[in-house]
Amino acid sequence: MVSFKLLSLAMLVAAATTQEVKLRYMPFGDSITEIICWRAQLWEKLQTTEWSTVDFVGSGRNENYCNDNKYDRDNEGHSGFLAIDIANRRQLDGWLQQNPADVITMHLGTNDIVQQNKAVADIIKAFTTLVGTMRTSNPKMKIVVAQIIPMGFGNYNTKIQELNRAIIPWAQGLNSTTSPIWVVDQYTGFSGTSDLRDGVHPNTSGDTKMMNVWYPALVNAFAEAKKDKMAALEARGEVKFVA
C-alpha cells in the first residue's frame, strides 16, 4: 500500500514536470474566428513551443482551406452572429458546458455594427454578460478580448473604433486577478484593403497579423492558467516542486 502510494506519487511528479497540465483554449467569436486561417497559423506557431499540447476546443470544426490538415480546428466561431444575440440567448453558457476552457479569446461586435447598427453601449453590455458566463463556467477563466479589425467597405470603421475605445475602460472595470481580461488591439496596423479578402475576412496577410497580435497575449494567458493548475495539484499534495 505504502509503496504503491509512493510509486503513484513519483509517477505524478514525473508527469507534472513534463507535459502534466493540459490546457484548453476556446477561440470564440463570429466568422472572423470561424472562417479564417489565423487559428491554423496560431496552432502551427504553438507547436514549436511548450504550449504544443494546448487543446483548442469548441463545437465547430469546418475545413477552412488553410493548406493545413494538421491543426486543431475546434473553435466556437459562429458566422453572422451578434454579441448581443449570443448574450441574450445565453448561447455561450451551453457552448462552455459542452467544451469547458481555461483560456478564451473573444473577437465580437462586427455583426452588431455592420448588420444591425447596434449601440456601442448595448454591445458592451452583452460583453459583460458573456464575461459573466465565462466566469460562471470557470471562475479562473483567462480572457483575451480583441479590439476588432476594421471593415473594408461601408462607413463602419468610425463605430468600430468607438467600440474599440469603449472596450478598454469596460475591461478595466471587470478585471480581476483570478480571472484577468487582457485587451489586444487587432485594429491598429490592420489594413481594411490589403489585409482583407472580401472586405470583412482576413486574407493570408491579415491572418498573420491577427495571429501575431493574439500570440503574446495567449502565451501569457496559458502561463497564468498553468500556474493555477499547478497550484491546485500542489494543494492536493499530488505534485511537489523540486527547486
Ligand X SMILES: *[C@@H]1O[C@H](CO)[C@@H](O)[C@H](O)[C@H]1NC(C)=O
Residue in 214, 183, 210 with CA at minimum distance from that of residue 36: 210
Residue in 88, 63, 86, 85 with CA at minimum distance from that of residue 75: 63
Nearer to ligand X, 31 or 204 (CB): 204
Nearer to ligand X, 129 or 204 (CB): 204
State the nearest-atom distance from the C-beta of 2 to ligand X, in Å: 42
State the nearest-atom distance from the C-beta of 143 to ligand X, in Å: 9
- Within a 10 A sphere around the Cβ of 3, how many other Cβ atoms? 7
State the nearest-atom distance from the C-beta of 203 to ligand X, in Å: 4
Nearer to ligand X, 28 or 190 (CB): 190
Residue in 113, 186, 203, 202 with CA at minimum distance from that of residue 156: 113
State the nearest-atom distance from the C-beta of 35 to ligand X, in Å: 15
State the nearest-atom distance from the C-beta of 177 to ligand X, in Å: 5
Report residue 122 CA to chain centroid gap: 22
State the nearest-atom distance from the C-beta of 152 to ligand X, in Å: 7
> Where do contacts with ligand X occur on this chain (CB under 6 A)?
171-172, 175, 177, 180-183, 194, 196-197, 203-205
Looking at the DSSP bridge assignments, the partners of residue 55 are 24
Instruction: Give kind and range of the element (H or E) at residue 13.
Output: helix 2-17
Q: What is the grid cell recorded at 195?
A: 489585409
Instruction: Give kind and range of the element (H or E) at residue 224.
Output: helix 204-235
Nearer to ligand X, 79 or 175 (CB): 175
Residue in 177, 181, 203 with CA at minimum distance from that of residue 190: 203
Nearer to ligand X, 156 or 182 (CB): 182
Helices (H) and strands (E) in the chain, counts: 9, 6
Nearer to ligand X, 45 or 78 (CB): 45
